[in-house]
Structure 1
Amino acid sequence: MPRFLLAAALLALGGNACAYPADTAPVSVTLRGHHYSVELATNEAAREHGLMMRTSLAADHGMLFVFPDTAPRGFWMKNTLIPLDILYFDAERKLVSAQVDVQPCKADPCPVYPSAGPARYVLELSAGTAARIGVRNGDTLAIEGRLGTVD
């Protein structure tokens, strides 16, 4: 088989391998007109690990924590190496509170950053994002894509 045909066949197969199955398609959110690609944390293990040990987070990326219920939430920065904005949203996806410019934890125990009200969704973005886009309580979070099973 000529090399260019082999290369074309491999590219075609590789392109199909990169396609996302319906249940793992990328999820994104929009807040105040700004679009972010997000990783999901929809189970206890993923929510506990969060963005730990990351050394960077792109300006247009974040992590969306989805809980099975609406309740007061508290996050901490143990083993989180990058400063973050932590945005808490209720079941209607309205912003109930924000903890902004939260710095990595260097103490033990690490402080907890609570929500000011019950939350079901928590969005973590690079520190300074909330101020840059003018986030305010009551802002609505739009979620595009399938969240899958939440437990």
Structure 2
Amino acid sequence: MIYVKTPPTRLDPSAVSPAARGRHRRALAAAVALVVSAAGLLAGASEAQAQTEAQHLPAITLQAGMHLIRAELARTPAERQTGLMFRRDLGPNDGMLFVFEEPAVQCFWMRNTPTPLDIAFVEDDGRIVNLDQMAPLSDDSHCSKKPVRFVLEMNRGWFAKRGIQGGFKLGGAPFSGAR
């Protein structure tokens, strides 16, 4: 077979019927809408992916008697809202310390959090007000018994294995400069 390449020709716009121009405009508009829709789906997929990925935040070291805790710090509203969601596992001495601007009764739940956790509500000086156990993927609310600025989440059983109860005092930078 022999192919002959011919130069493209330009149509005289007046030679194209109004109906053909209308079909062309509708096809072009549909193509643009398809591209915009695809871009929106991709952006939505990226957002959904980000909402299902565990966050990993900078960490500090806390002391619970002779035990050291590697606690990621959740300081902003967005970091606190996500917390340990989607986290499948924590290291044996890893947790997350939620830091609030002002003392208040703090309440937490376990939506989108598949790891069973213990929660400690902590006063400014590091003293644990109360502890609770939280079931994975539950919307049950777990609240502090009085206003606190700090909340520490650890693997389920971490506090009990170390004999830590309400009234126990944690150490570390956040608690040394009590307000």
TM-score interval, smaller chain: 0.7 to 0.9
**For 1:72 and 1:84, how far apart are their aligned partners in 2?**
19
Contact 2:108/2:141 (CA < 8 Å) preserved in 1?
yes
Unaligned runs of 5+ in 2: 1-56, 175-179
Out of 115, 118, 124, the position equivalent to 1:85 is: 118
Equivalence map 1:1-151=2 (5 Å): 26-100=59-133, 102-106=134-138, 110-144=139-173
**For 1:78 and 1:56, how far apart are their aligned partners in 2?**
15
Query: Which structure is richer in relative contact order (CA contacts within 8 A, separation 6 or more)?
Result: 1
**For 1:86 and 1:32, how far apart are their aligned partners in 2?**
18
Contact 1:88/1:123 (CA < 8 Å) preserved in 2?
yes
Aligned position for 2:39: none
One-letter identity of the residue aligned with 2:128: L
Q: Deviating runs (4+, > 6 A) in structure 1?
A: none
**For 2:112 and 2:104, how far apart are their aligned partners in 1?**
24
One-letter identity of the residue aligned with 1:103: A
- For 2:80, what is the secondary structure of its paired residue? helix
Structure showing the higher strand proportion among its residues: 1
Question: How far 1:33 moved relative to its partner?
Answer: 2.1
Contact 2:105/2:148 (CA < 8 Å) preserved in 1?
yes
Larger Rg computed on CA atoms: 2
**For 2:167 and 2:71, how far apart are their aligned partners in 1?**
21
One-letter identity of the residue aligned with 1:94: R
Contact 1:32/1:133 (CA < 8 Å) preserved in 2?
no
Percent identity between the aligned chains? 34
Distance change (3 Å), C-alpha of 1:54 and 1:25: closer
TM-score of the pair, normalised by structure 1: 0.73
**For 1:78 and 1:94, how far apart are their aligned partners in 2?**
27
Unaligned runs of 5+ in 1: 1-23, 146-151
Contact 2:58/2:73 (CA < 8 Å) preserved in 1?
no
Task: Tell me how large the CA RMSD over aligned residues is.
Answer: 1.7
**For 1:25 and 1:98, how far apart are their aligned partners in 2?**
24
- For 1:78, what is the secondary structure of its paired residue? coil
Contact 1:64/1:123 (CA < 8 Å) preserved in 2?
yes
One-letter identity of the residue aligned with 2:85: M
